[in-house]
Structure 1
Amino acid sequence: MSFNAPKIIENIKEIKIIYELNDKRDEKLNVALKKIENNMTIDTATEELMEKWEAILKINKSDTDTLDERRFRVKSRIFQKLPYTIRGLRHKLDSLCGEDGYILEIDHDTENITCYVQLFQKVKLKEVKSMLDAIIPLNMTIQVKLKYNTWGDMKSTTWKKINKYKWCEVKEVVIDAKN
């Protein structure tokens, strides 16, 4: 019981029951408020809200999809709204992949856009391509590629750390320079 009442009132059976009921209601209210708070943004939305968004956006979820992957897919479909600017495109990619999760190259002369998705964001490659296909003007070509490891990227990595991997894995595995 969480109430501050005089000792004489605390011992009354009916008062104890009333306070216990109020405590249970408070707990239910707090759970409901937390759920509402979580559902205010896609990043923290509950499974129930994701199911609603997936139905609205006609997204078929896979049995192996995590809640975060489902949130990402919904978010990428919401971001497919036009019109857009380069700054808006970067903002959408920042939100989907993180500021360090991609490299965007735009060549205005050849009307070509290349987006390199970092290895640690590999699972998002397909959705990034889908989003770009939907929002980039048809006169521009789009390439979405995975940003594999290169020797230049691993300047701070020692041979001892790289030696754990097979040569073919060095290119395709996220190598943590700290370990």
Structure 2
Amino acid sequence: MIREIDLISYLPLFVQEFREIQQIMSAENPEFQLIADESEKIKNNQFIETSDLVGIRRFEKMLNIVPAPDDTIESRRSRVLARWNEVVPYTYRALVQKLIQLCDGNFTITPNFNEYEMEIITHLELSGQVDELQYLIGYMIPMNIAVTSKNDIHCNSTGHFSLPAGMSFCTMVELSDAYRDNFNLEGHLYTTGAPIGTVQVSISDNFNEQVEISGTNRLASNASVAEIITIN
């Protein structure tokens, strides 16, 4: 919606005061709003970069382009723009201009015409752009040129990483004929959505043990299990 329609604002001030006129204008505002919105869509669909699904489908039909099911509106616009201004002859300068248009200037091209080789490194992220690059290489570069094409996507992340889900186990197994020990757990445990298991297994004929667990255990939506198995 480019603008909000308010019909009563076009009337003289003394007419705007009548309740009947106010109700009539309020009832007609939605209809005129639909007309204004549709006229804006018609204007936008005349240009590739501002067209919606209806408009880009018309451009694709003119260029005999069949979009893939997972193509986004941005990738479809990029493909149409790449094929719209196809001119001949296909020179190296024309190839560079096409790559600038497709890759938004983010690419590296290294020609070696003496060895009939060419290397193209791009950083395309939208769905369908790599297929369009393959189409571009296929119809613009001569068959006697060996082309090496690479598409690198840099994923850089900065900041802090917090693990909201994890798994922690503490297992002790003792096999003894004279087991005597003191086992203490102290500290604080903060988990979110994580199973915590503490298992202690002791097999002895002379079991004398003290187990103390102290501290703060703060859990959110998790399972906490503490098991002590004694065979004596």
How would you bin the TM-score normalised by the shorter chain? 0.5 to 0.7
CA distance in 2, matches of 1:75, 1:111: 29
Which residue number corresponds to residue 91 of structure 1?
A: 97
Question: Identity, % of aligned pairs?
Answer: 22
Q: Does 1:129 align with 2:134?
A: yes
Aligned length: 152
Specify the alignment match of 1:72 in structure 2. Answer: 78
Secondary structure of the residue that 1:104 maps to in structure 2? strand
Does the 8 Å CA contact 1:80/1:134 hold for their aligned counterparts?
no
Aligned counterpart, 1:50: 56
Counterparts of 1:64 and 1:131 in 2: how far apart (Å)?
20
Alignment match, 1:159: none
Q: Select which of 14, 17, 21 maps to 2:24.
A: 17
Go from structure 1 to structure 2 and tell me whether the alpha carbon gap of 1:40 and 1:90 turns closer, same or farther (over 3 Å shift). farther
Query: Comparing both structures, which one devotes a greater share of its residues to helix?
Result: 1
CA distance in 2, matches of 1:37, 1:113: 41
Q: Which has the higher contact order (CA 8 A, sep 6+)?
A: 1
Question: Structure 2 matches for 1:155-166, cutoff 5 A?
Answer: none
The separation in 2 between residues aligned to 1:122 and 1:107, in whole angstroms, is 30
Per-residue CA distance 1:105-149 (angstroms, 9 max, x = gap):
1122123222111264685222111112112234433332223xx
* Secondary structure in 2 matching 1:127: helix
After superposition, give the CA deviation of every residue in 1:6-54 in whole Å (9 maximum; x if it has no partner). Answer: 2355306257525753x44542343134213422332221101222222
Q: Match for residue 143 of structure 1?
A: 148
Q: Distance in 2 between matches of 1:121 and 1:104?
A: 20
Q: CA RMSD, aligned part only?
A: 2.9
Maintained 8 Å contact 1:125/1:145 = no
Amino acid at match of 2:13: P
Q: Runs of 5+ in structure 2 lacking a partner? A: 1-5, 160-232
The higher radius of gyration belongs to 2
What is the one-letter code of the residue matched to 1:6? L
| CA distance, structure 1, for counterparts of residue 82 and residue 31 of structure 2 | 38
Aligned twin of 1:104 = 109
Instruction: Indicate how the Cα distance of structure 1 residues 9 and 31 shifts in structure 2: closer, same or farther if over 3 A, else same.
Output: closer
Q: Go from structure 1 to structure 2 and tell me whether the alpha carbon gap of 1:108 and 1:78 turns closer, same or farther (over 3 Å shift).
A: same
Letter in 2 for 1:41: F
Between 54-63 and 9-18, report the one with greater CA deviation: 9-18
Partner SS, residue 36 of structure 2: helix
Could you tell me how far apart the structure 2 residues matched to 1:119 and 1:108 are?
Answer: 25
- Matched to 2:18, the amino acid is N
TM-score (norm 2): 0.54
Rounded to whole Å, the distance in 1 between the matches of 2:69 and 2:126 is 20
